[in-house]
Amino acid sequence: MERIPILRVGNILLLSIQVELHDSLVQQIQSDVLGALEKEPAAGLVVDISSVEILDTYTARALAQLAQMSGLMGSRTILTGMRPAIAFTLTEMGFNATGFRTALDVDQAITMLNRQASKRRRPAAPNRANA
């Protein structure tokens, strides 16, 4: 069975989807990503779909689920490279993109995730009510 390799770039996991997504493949991806996060935590997950030409609402929902699952394991998901036709169709079909964020490309997504990670590392501002 085909498998999408999960690439680690610093503290971010990167998936480059290059085949049309179908049910069992998305399930495989979900299980592989959660396994990778269990082995070594990651601040973020970037899923690039710039090669994907068709994405139905079922698969989009499965990707949103992947984002939710990864979120529960401490990793934020950003979907990158969505083609205009897919964005158009998903919206027309009433798909509501909650659960994951999107970015134009992988570079932008990694910048977003690193900025968030550095914010979380910064000490919290003193609470004025308690000061």
Residues at the interface with its own copies (CB under 8 A): 2-5, 7-10, 14, 16, 18-19, 48, 50-51, 81, 105-107, 110
- Least separation in angstroms between CB 80 and its own copies: 9
Nearer to its own copies, 2 or 92 (CB): 2
- Least separation in angstroms between CB 38 and its own copies: 18
Torsion on CA atoms 108, 89, 33, 41, rounded to nearest 10: 40
The DSSP bridge partners found for residue 56 are none
Please, are residues 12 and 43 in contact by the beta-carbon 8 Å criterion?
yes
Nearer to its own copies, 48 or 62 (CB): 48
Nearer to its own copies, 95 or 103 (CB): 103
- Residues 29, 48: Cα–Cα separation, whole Å: 13
Nearer to its own copies, 61 or 83 (CB): 83
- Residues 16, 104: Cα–Cα separation, whole Å: 14
